[in-house]
Structure 1
């Protein structure tokens, strides 16, 4: 560490014994963090969400919790190309449809850049689904406990603490004082590498409202007595998150408080942080964590007090989060493949060469299905239309290719992402970018992890002038391509 452990231990212990986190005397700045450009909360149909998640494909699962009653989170993409996270509740959760809708709509009114905001919901039959902004850069748990390239820097840990406190302060100002099961898995990182608090925790996760499904050692003491969540319980959980940030591991609060009382901060502090912070900063963060973990709920600070205490600790505020996190910010600096570069250049001829050379290699199981179907006259005609389309595509007769591929698709007996990809490029060649985008999306619905589909979406979006969405699709294609190539 950047200070002597004995000094930090003594100073910290003294401050814990005598000091309170002060109530702030600052203006309410919640309007500074309002989010513009997000769509209003809306109801989605089950079919819309099913299409967006490629039929709730296993490849799109982001996380799932619990063995007896799992609530699964999927990633997906709307027709507008906006990426989303979908939480699908277990069928035994939320039996009261009206209560679910009321809760979802209340949370959906919140809009803040410190939250992964709720965009909508679906309540059809027994289905209970939440739709939120998608955060592509993993969870705090991943970056703290399971990092691969570099541990999280001290200044970034302080930024995470502040942003979470600001998220809780905003929610409290809007009347949402309760947050269920606040932990490192509820903290997500957006495209810029900024930490966001998941909106899913603002709704209880089952009909009985249980919120603390983790080890009892991390549960607020009053919850063990009453079984109820209070705003002070949320502060306690925030304190356990501060311990995670300080130690780089999930340490029980009782153990941490023992180390503080014994003036043994060396055992508490992450060894990866050596030399990164001063004695005063380390002392203050431990003091804030300790106040959050007080056994008596009324002695814990409220979110506004936490913001006031954490704000002066911030360092290197001009450095963007993605730089501190070591996150690749955009595809501009990525070593793009020839196909990705062709998409950026909108070089349709080069893309045609790639698709022609690739053939139908990525159509999983398609060849086997075709061989079994050839005995019917209808299927023979269907195959002939596909063969005619392939010949036209090869000779760059794209209007004919569109007609022949359309005949193949309309029969509907066989599904081929490659046919959709080829018709997509054919539409681009004939100056029909909207149709091209629709086909590229359909190719991804059939094959969710196929990078070609994402790249074709990117080039269609580039042609349509939707630059930001095109970059997102391009980055998605890059990620899928590198995973496929094992690099």
Structure 2
């Protein structure tokens, strides 16, 4: 939900390697926004990404334009448990595989705290996919136009503007000055609530080089004339973004410029911001937006000038972004169910009791398939293996349970997320944490939104000593369980 607009209110050198010279270089990189501790860019197979996204499950779609959009973005999880966003292009896009790979590799060299960094791609047959860091806290469009609990604060809106200007400045310094279709859907928020510019916009959307998919009223005038995008066109789009931040709505630039010309600024400003900033600050942001929206491209400021203009406007610099955004931080205590608490404490006995009591309640689709196929001898033997596994699991004979469930799984005719979950816990009970993790991941491949699969991954990761990854999986399980409870 949003708000109607209202009025504008009143070297040292040392011989040892990795000494101060190394630290100084690292500090310089951080100051320029560069990140050196991320995975290096690599190519993935379509099968790896199919597993990561649970078969490109509808439940894993995160692009806000829906399942039928030409290029769909999925959330996923790589083998190393890293959360990723996977953009799958329409099959008609990028017919030239060499061009796609060259573009992806070039974008994949960029590393910045202000970008969702591109960590891989897939170019296999007709498939064209990009893999980037996953941002948990959704898009600027969601927080600005469709907020549910509180409107975005003025200080946070200014921070968004600065961080995105810094991202554009960094990309320009690395020879990637063109950004295609900069808008509120291209800006996402990380675990700390900091805004990041999506790396996907650094590559064209389709084979015809189309650079804008939004309403023509928001596209730069020179693009309408020539069909070509330039660095100055990106500045124009940044100006429309400033208008979004100021108004809390998507106002066409022509209308906004008319309001500015008539000094009718109260119609341009989000009423939810009343009392949060001075007239001078509001006027300065409007002035900057109007400069970005100049008809002649050469009259618009470059990213470096934008950064310089936005730094003095920053407010509440000491307040973390997640606090300004009003969103929970990954370090905060979560509200966990009995199963979540048991996983956090690594209380395997309690986990066993809960899974045993749950039975196959979350496995109805597989149960239907089993009953339909019971007439064959092979199916009967398979079912017997499962039943024996269940008996062993109930009596805490975990070695026997592993053997019986493995016989059931190896036949491969039927799938059961519950069997994988039970074998996962049996592996944990037998001090085989990696096997337990593999089974928990497989359970989620079968059932992408099953919270128990996430909880078991968390327990397995705790057992493997991977505390950070475990906490993320635990939070994911809590979110899935909360959604399930709310829907029931």
Equivalence for 2:218: 218
Equivalence for 1:262: 262
Q: 1:405 to 1:29 in 2, by over 3 A?
A: closer
Unaligned regions of 5+ residues in structure 1, if any? Answer: 9-27
Q: Work out the CA distance in 2 between the residues paired with 1:97 and 1:482.
A: 42
Q: 1:301 to 1:88 in 2, by over 3 A?
A: same
Contact 2:7 2:267 in 1 (8 A): no
Compute the displacement of 1:36 (Å): 3.2
Equivalence for 1:22: none
| Paired residue secondary structure (2:63) | strand
Compute the displacement of 1:333 (Å): 2.1
Report 1:203-242 matches (<5 A): 203-242=203-242
Q: Work out the CA distance in 2 between the residues paired with 1:332 and 1:29.
A: 29
> Which range is displaced more, 446-455 or 375-384?
375-384
Compute the displacement of 1:214 (Å): 1.3
Q: Work out the CA distance in 1 between the residues paired with 2:9 and 2:318.
A: 30
Q: 1:121 to 1:6 in 2, by over 3 A?
A: closer
Report 1:241-390 matches (<5 A): 241-330=241-330, 332-390=332-390
Contact 2:159 2:314 in 1 (8 A): yes
Q: 1:7 to 1:408 in 2, by over 3 A?
A: closer
Q: 1:315 to 1:35 in 2, by over 3 A?
A: same
Contact 2:9 2:275 in 1 (8 A): no
Query: Could you report, residue by residue, the CA deviation over 1:247-298 in whole angstroms, capped at 9, with x for unpaired residues?
Result: 0000011111111111111110000000001122111111111100011100
Query: Could you report, residue by residue, the CA deviation over 1:185-239 in whole angstroms, capped at 9, with x for unpaired residues?
Result: 0000111111000000000000011111211111101111111000000000000
Compute the displacement of 1:374 (Å): 1.1
Q: Work out the CA distance in 2 between the residues paired with 1:68 and 1:61.
A: 11
- CA RMSD, Structure 1 to Structure 2 (Å): 1.6
Compute the displacement of 1:68 (Å): 8.5
Equivalence for 1:392: 392
Q: Work out the CA distance in 2 between the residues paired with 1:30 and 1:292.
A: 28
Query: Could you report, residue by residue, the CA deviation over 1:151-201 in whole angstroms, capped at 9, with x for unpaired residues?
Result: 000000000000000000000000001000000000001111110000000
| Paired residue secondary structure (2:122) | strand
Equivalence for 2:139: 139
Q: Work out the CA distance in 1 between the residues paired with 2:68 and 2:407.
A: 46
Equivalence for 2:13: none
Query: Could you report, residue by residue, the CA deviation over 1:439-474 in whole angstroms, capped at 9, with x for unpaired residues?
Result: 000000000000000000001101111011001101
Compute the displacement of 1:37 (Å): 2.2
Contact 2:458 2:471 in 1 (8 A): yes
Contact 2:232 2:298 in 1 (8 A): yes
Contact 1:65 1:71 in 2 (8 A): no
Equivalence for 1:103: 103
Q: Work out the CA distance in 1 between the residues paired with 2:421 and 2:213.
A: 45
Equivalence for 2:160: 160
Equivalence for 1:56: 56
Contact 2:58 2:67 in 1 (8 A): no
Equivalence for 1:465: 465
> Which range is displaced more, 213-222 or 244-253?
213-222
Q: Work out the CA distance in 1 between the residues paired with 2:64 and 2:227.
A: 24
Equivalence for 1:88: 88
Q: Work out the CA distance in 2 between the residues paired with 1:66 and 1:223.
A: 27
Contact 1:182 1:238 in 2 (8 A): yes
| Paired residue secondary structure (1:113) | coil
| Matched residue count | 465
Q: 1:342 to 1:284 in 2, by over 3 A?
A: same
| Paired residue secondary structure (1:33) | coil
Equivalence for 2:79: 79
Q: Work out the CA distance in 2 between the residues paired with 1:467 and 1:66.
A: 34
Equivalence for 2:148: 148
Contact 1:331 1:475 in 2 (8 A): no
Q: Work out the CA distance in 1 between the residues paired with 2:206 and 2:431.
A: 50
Q: 1:55 to 1:292 in 2, by over 3 A?
A: same
Q: Work out the CA distance in 2 between the residues paired with 1:364 and 1:7.
A: 58
| Paired residue secondary structure (1:95) | coil
Q: Work out the CA distance in 2 between the residues paired with 1:318 and 1:157.
A: 15
Q: Work out the CA distance in 2 between the residues paired with 1:154 and 1:342.
A: 41
Compute the displacement of 1:78 (Å): 0.5
| Paired residue secondary structure (2:91) | coil
Contact 1:331 1:474 in 2 (8 A): no
Equivalence for 1:17: none
Query: Could you report, residue by residue, the CA deviation over 1:297-340 in whole angstroms, capped at 9, with x for unpaired residues?
Result: 00100000000000111111111111110111126422211111
Q: 1:307 to 1:123 in 2, by over 3 A?
A: same
Compute the displacement of 1:31 (Å): 4.2
| Paired residue secondary structure (2:237) | helix
Equivalence for 1:19: none
Contact 1:33 1:114 in 2 (8 A): yes
